[in-house]
């Protein structure tokens, strides 16, 4: 039950006590009789993107408040609320009064949907600024749209209208420069802006409308005359699921863009009986931004990766179309003029050729927050700075760790290289030693032959003689023996 209805019940009992006995307690209950699952599903369907909410059987789950959640809380209210004269504020419950409850919730919690249109010539770089704004003010999965993305989403719905739209888009692909009829474009964009996400969270619409007529068709609605009842919208056949089959008659007819009637002096006077139009406040943007840029700069951005036409011919065509609709020399109103005239909106002008992305984004923040800061459960500036500092610290730590790892890896490589070098040096020295030994052995070979031929035989006989006699002074006897046989040694010397 709504808290205002609780307060009204207390006031009713206090100001005018009921005739019936109400007991010791006051029971405030609305007349919705909804279950918890129906309330949750209703909130999701009315505020967020309609998605079936899964219901888990109680026997298959274990939660702390399992028993409490299974209580039947549907009760009979106290007698004053059963009266026909009770001043209800939300008699039929939260789901039936979701628009009212959501408006109150947003008001008292200072929640504001951000609704913005950003326009500019092709290649002006608006997608970068729009994405930064959406990330800043619209949480995850932000409602940031272009006309092309809206068309793509509409063709994926699987409805009769989606099937027709696919055929029209396919036919237009063979005729560059042609557009979908204005009525079709308006219907597609209005449907997107009237979605729950855009109504409650807001949107950033990039690159559309591109002309005064598109803005006029999109954001104006006819005001019913006094006493005239609003006509309820009939169910659209295009929203029915497409099941294939035979083509409907007339589906192949080409819808042509209606030409604007030429103005004449008689038409300049206002017709008192002409229908009046007013701004659709539910979908009209609160902020409008127009970016300006020279064609050469736009072309350069496209070459560097910005979104834009895919070839030179398409770029020139779209640039000429934008200039004709927004930079006319004959004084005819452009797209920005519509918002300043019809909605009284101050249009922010940014020259992106002479403004950096950071400065442009700062200008957008000042413009958006000129009517008050956005709470919207967004991160505070302190939290953002703290997270940014933490992110910078983590990046620096990761950089330091990477540098340390690189140094360790370099040291390991250097150690490995040193070991390999030492091993090679050791192997080289071993080879040199082996070569020196071989060389020495080669050089010693003639000397050995000389000793074996001239010294070893006499010396061996002298040693054998000493071994037989074993004298007291073997050295002296060996010397005498060698002296006695010296002539034998000289006689065997080779001739030089």
Query: Mind listing the pLDDT tens digit for each residue in 59-109?
Result: 888 888 888 878 887 888 888 888 888 999 999 999 999 888 988 888 888
C-alpha distances in Å from residue 300, one per residue of 210, 356, 358, 400, 490? 22, 15, 19, 37, 107
* Residues 129/116, Cβ–Cβ less than 8 Å: no
* Burial zone of 15 (CB within 10 Å; 0-12 exposed, 13-18 middle, 19+ buried): exposed
In 234-329, beta strands by DSSP E: 276-279, 287-292
pLDDT score recorded for residue 233: 58
225: confidence class by pLDDT, cuts 50, 70, 90: confident
Interior/surface letters 405-421, b for 16+ CB within 10 angstroms, e for the rest? eeeeeeeeeeeeeeeee
- Does pTM top 0.85 for this prediction? no
Q: Is the pLDDT of residue 142 over 90?
A: no
Cis peptide leading into residue 408 (ω within 30°): no
192: confidence class by pLDDT, cuts 50, 70, 90: very high
For residue 461, give both structure tokens. Answer: 């006989």
Angle CA 162–238–252, to nearest 5? 70
Percent of the chain surpassing pLDDT 90: 42
Helix residue ranges, H only, 294-380: 295-303, 312-326, 335-342, 357-368
Q: What is the CA radius of gyration of the chain?
A: 48
Report the distance separating Cα 43 and Cα 50, nearest Å: 9
> Kind and range of the H or E element at 164?
helix 160-173
* Residues 48/196, Cβ–Cβ less than 8 Å: yes
C-alpha distances in Å from residue 495, one per residue of 306, 333, 488, 492? 102, 130, 15, 9
Q: Measured between alpha carbons, how far apart are the two ends of the chain, in Å?
A: 136
Lowest mean pLDDT among 114-118, 137-141, 341-345: 137-141
Mean pLDDT of all residues in 470-493: 78
Find the length of the chain. Answer: 496
> Does residue 242 or residue 289 have the better pLDDT?
289
Report the distance separating Cα 363 and Cα 125, nearest Å: 15
DSSP 3-state helix, strand, coil percentages of the chain (rounded to 5)?
A: 55, 5, 40
Closest CA to 326 of 345, 343, 340: 340
Strand order of the sheet with strand 202-206? 144-146, 202-206, 114-119, 287-292, 347-351
Mean pLDDT score across all residues of the chain: 84
pLDDT in tens, 247-278: 444 444 444 444 444 444 444 445 566 778 89
> Does residue 249 or residue 338 have the better pLDDT?
338
């Amino acid at each position: 039950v709504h808290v205002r209805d609780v307060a009204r019940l207390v006031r009713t009992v206090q100001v005018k006590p009921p005739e019936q006995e109400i007991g010791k307690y006051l029971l405030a209950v609305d007349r919705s009789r909804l279950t918890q699952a129906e309330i949750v599903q209703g909130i999701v369907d009315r505020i967020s993107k309609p998605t079936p909410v899964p219901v888990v059987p109680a026997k298959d789950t274990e939660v702390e408040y399992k028993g409490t959640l299974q209580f039947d809380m549907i009760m009979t209210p106290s007698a004053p609320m059963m009266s026909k004269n009770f001043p209800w504020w939300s008699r039929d419950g939260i789901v039936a009064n979701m628009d009212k409850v959501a408006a109150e919730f947003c008001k008292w919690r200072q929640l504001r949907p951000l609704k913005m249109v950003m326009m500019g010539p092709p290649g002006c770089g608006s997608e970068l600024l729009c994405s930064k704004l959406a990330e800043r003010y619209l949480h995850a999965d932000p409602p940031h749209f272009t006309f092309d993305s809206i068309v793509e989403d509409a063709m994926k719905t699987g409805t009769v209208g989606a099937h027709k739209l696919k055929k029209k888009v396919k036919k237009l692909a063979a005729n560059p420069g042609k557009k979908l009829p204005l009525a079709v474009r308006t219907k597609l964009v209005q449907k997107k802006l009237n979605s729950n996400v855009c109504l409650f969270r807001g949107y950033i619409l990039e690159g559309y409308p591109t002309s005064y007529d598109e803005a006029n068709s999109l954001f104006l609605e006819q005001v019913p005359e006094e006493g005239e009842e609003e006509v309820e919208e009939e169910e659209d056949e295009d929203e029915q699921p497409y099941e294939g089959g035979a083509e409907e008659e007339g589906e192949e007819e080409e819808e042509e863009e209606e030409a604007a009637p030429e103005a004449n002096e008689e038409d300049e006077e206002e017709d008192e009986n002409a229908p009046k139009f007013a701004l659709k406040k539910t979908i009209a943007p609160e902020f409008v931004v127009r970016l300006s840029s020279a064609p050469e700069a736009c072309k350069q951005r496209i070459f560097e990766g910005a979104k834009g036409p895919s070839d030179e011919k398409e770029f020139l065509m779209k640039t000429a179309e934008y200039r004709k609709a927004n930079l006319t020399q004959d004084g005819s109103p452009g797209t920005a003029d519509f918002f300043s005239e019809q909605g009284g909106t101050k249009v922010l002008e940014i020259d992106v050729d002479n403004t950096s992305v950071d400065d442009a984004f700062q200008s957008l923040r000042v413009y958006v927050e000129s009517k008050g800061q956005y709470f919207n459960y967004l991160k505070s500036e302190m939290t953002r700075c703290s997270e940014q500092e933490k992110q910078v610290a983590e990046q620096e730590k990761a950089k330091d760790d990477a540098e340390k790892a690189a140094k360790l890896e370099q040291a390991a490589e250097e150690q490995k290289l040193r070991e390999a070098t030492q091993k090679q040096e050791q192997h080289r020295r071993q080879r040199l030693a082996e070569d020196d030994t071989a060389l020495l052995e080669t050089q010693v070979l003639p000397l050995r032959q000389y000793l074996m031929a001239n010294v070893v035989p006499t010396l061996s006989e002298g040693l054998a003689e000493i071994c037989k006699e074993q004298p007291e002074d073997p050295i002296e006897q060996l010397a005498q023996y060698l002296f006695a046989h010296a002539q034998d040694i000289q006689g065997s010397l080779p001739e030089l």
